[in-house]
A = this chain, B = another copy of it.
């Protein structure tokens, strides 16, 4: 019998996770074994070697993998669900940029990010890719708070040196790059769960010179990248004018090695592009070749009247993909809502746009919110042996019923009834209980 040390335990309950892209594994009364933050798998009967571990009994409750939020703006959490009558470009200039400018004030940032980090702790999300603002001090503060609450995250100080109001625009490409390096140096080795990610806001806000410098910083620090892509028709048209030599929107990132592949050495660059509502065939192909992750953000794409991303096509193409809440274009950090929204918009896409694009099943959307996005973080989003043990325990007894349901129906209903807002009994990240 092998030695088991440290923080190890067994969770007992009704277990559900995505086995494949369209198939849920379910086990009523199963044992999920966690050894030092890593899953040993799910068992009908507890194997002999794990019988000495503490057993935590969640009998009758659901145990599912933690949610992976591929795209969320921490500074926008403060005004989630307000001014939803605006479209993207107006929403940015009238609401978002003035709000983000407040984060030069670290007292304000401290208040706002405390609230955000606590919401991340309490909700169903265990892993997130997060935009901060351009401010390096506030960004470090955010990382401190996320590390303290215990979720796994990538956090980006935002880069933007044009097409933004003076109080939010960085003085020059060089100034933006310098601030970025100073931020990276300040946090070097500081965190276990919280990592930096290069975060050019989007092409309209980043000069060619800035992108050049970010490409260099990417190589020097071996950083992942996150940004926005082909979200809105007006924005895509704007990028066409700003970057006339690019074959398509994403090509403007790719030229600088910020689109999944670092060209001089051909090395992979773990990259998330949020939205991809209006990606052309060429852009899709490049994403596939370069291994770019799509962060599908259905709520945001509705709220900002952007449209509906062709997710069935991306699935068929085999693109890497997850879901993002995109607070505050999205109105909530609930990834359960993101799952349901993903199914819902795919139905409208099928009905109104393309009857050859079969709607997403619940199992497919659940996959995207767990394993799909989880791949960006490593072995995350499932309970297979060797995966990170990050899990959410749900008390779906709060959704009263006159009859019994299958586990699959219970999980689907938990998502549609937004149980992550009021029914989380416990949350574990890498084997540590944080809620």
Chain A residues close to B by CB (< 8 Å): 78-85, 108, 111-112, 115, 118-119, 302-303, 305-308, 331-332, 340, 343-345, 347-348, 350-353, 359, 361-362, 399-403, 405, 409, 412-418, 421-422
**The residue from B118, B352, B361, B416 contacting A80, defined by CB atoms under 8 A apart:** B416
| B78 with A308: CB separation less than 8 A | no
Do the beta carbons of A412 and B115 come within 8 Å of each other? no
This chain: how many copies in the complex? 2
Excluding A81-B415, A85-B362, A118-B400, 20 further A-B contacts by CB distance (< 8 Å) are A80-B417, A81-B399, A82-B413, A84-B340, A84-B362, A85-B343, A85-B359, A108-B403, A111-B402, A115-B402, A119-B400, A303-B344, A305-B348, A305-B351, A307-B352, A308-B348, A331-B340, A331-B413, A331-B417, A418-B418
Instruction: Report how far A115 CA is from B398 CA in the complex, Å.
Output: 11
Contacts of A418 in B (CB 8 A): 332, 418, 421
| CB-CB nearest in chain B for A360 | B85
Known: A81-B416, A348-B348, A409-B82. A402 touches B108 (CB 8 A): yes
Q: A302-B344, A402-B112, A418-B418 are in contact. Are A81 and B413 (CB under 8 A)?
A: yes
B347 A303 Cβ-Cβ under 8 A: yes
**Complexed CA–CA distance, A415 and B305 (Å):** 18
A409 CA / B213 CA spacing, docked (Å): 40
Contact status of A332 and B416, CB under 8 A, knowing A302-B347, A351-B306: yes
Assess whether A401 is in contact with B307, with CB atoms less than 8 Å apart: no
Known: A80-B416, A83-B409, A417-B331. A352 touches B353 (CB 8 A): yes
Residues of B near A306 (CB, < 8 A) are 351
Q: Top 5 nearest A-B pairs by Cβ distance?
A: A81-B416, A81-B413, A112-B402, A331-B416, A111-B402
Decide if B84 touches A343 in the complex (CB within 8 Å). yes
Question: A350 contacts which chain B residues (CB < 8 A)?
Answer: 305
Interchain Cβ contacts under 8 Å between A and B, 12 examples: A78-B403, A81-B412, A82-B405, A84-B412, A108-B402, A108-B403, A305-B347, A305-B359, A331-B417, A332-B417, A345-B348, A348-B352
Residues of B within 8 Å of A332, CB to CB, are 416-418
* Measured CA separation A84–B363 after assembly (Å): 11
Interfacial chain B residues near A362, Cβ < 8 Å: 84-85
Contacts A348-B302, A352-B353, A421-B422 given: A361-B85 contact, CB under 8 Å? Answer: yes
CB contact under 8 A between A307 and B115, given known A361-B85, A421-B418: no
Asked if A115 contacts B348 (CB within 8 A), the reply is: no
Chain B neighbourhood of A343, CB < 8 A: 84-85
List chain B residues, Cβ under 8 A from A303: 344, 347
Chain B residues whose CB sits within 8 angstroms of the CB of A81 once the complex forms: 399, 412-417
Which B residues are CB-close (under 8 A) to A417? 80-81, 331-332
A359 — nearest CB in chain B belongs to which residue? B305
User: How far is A362 from B331 in the complex, measured between Cα atoms in Å?
Assistant: 13
Q: How far is the CA of A305 from the CA of B343 in the complex (A)?
A: 10
Chain B residues with CB below 8 A from A414, complex form? 81
Interface centre among A81, A84, A421, by most B CB within 10 Å? A81
